[in-house]
Structures are given as structure tokens and as C-alpha cells.
Amino acid sequence: MLVKAFGLPVPTETGFEGTGEYSFEDNNLDVFNISDYKKTDFYHGINRPEGDEYYQSEKNLRLPPHKRQRKWPSV
């Protein structure tokens, strides 16, 4: 939704690893920033071509939650 409304994000400048960020300023001249921190397939690489079958497989679900492969959203 942000890309449709504001266009593509600029590269991150805040020192965090991420896809991009948006900077905004309100009427009181307060500046705030929206960024993603390692949360898209742009950072983690494309998802597996097998699709949901791999991520829901018995082999993947037997692993502890912090070691499971997960499907990342696209940019």
C-alpha cells in the first residue's frame, strides 16, 4: 500500500539493514520514518519455488520455530 501511495522507498540511511524507508514530516515539523527491518524477500532472497507445500511440510514443521524456513512477503 505504501508503494502505491508514495512510490518506491529510498535506500535506508538510518544504519539498519532493510529494503527501504519513507520519511515524513507533520504540521508541527516533526519528522518520522517508516522502514522495514529485514522483513521482505528483497533482504532474505526469493521464496522457494515449491510454494506453500515446502513451508507447511512435515520436515520444516519438525524444526523448532526459530529454525523453520518461512515465506517472506515481497517488497
Alpha-carbon distance of 69 to 56, in angstroms, equals 10
| DSSP-derived 3-state class of residue 53 | helix
3-state secondary structure 34-45: EECCCCCHHHHC
Domain limits, the chain: 2-67
pLDDT above 70 for 14: no
CB contact at 8 A, 32 and 11: no
Residue 25 pLDDT: 93
C-beta separation of 10 from 21 below 8 A: yes
Express each pLDDT in 37-61 by its tens digit.
777 777 777 888 888 888 888 988 8
Pairwise pLDDT comparison (69 vs 72), residue with the higher score: 69
Q: What is the pLDDT of residue 27?
A: 94
Summarised one tens digit per residue, pLDDT across range 19-42 is 788 889 999 999 988 887 777 777
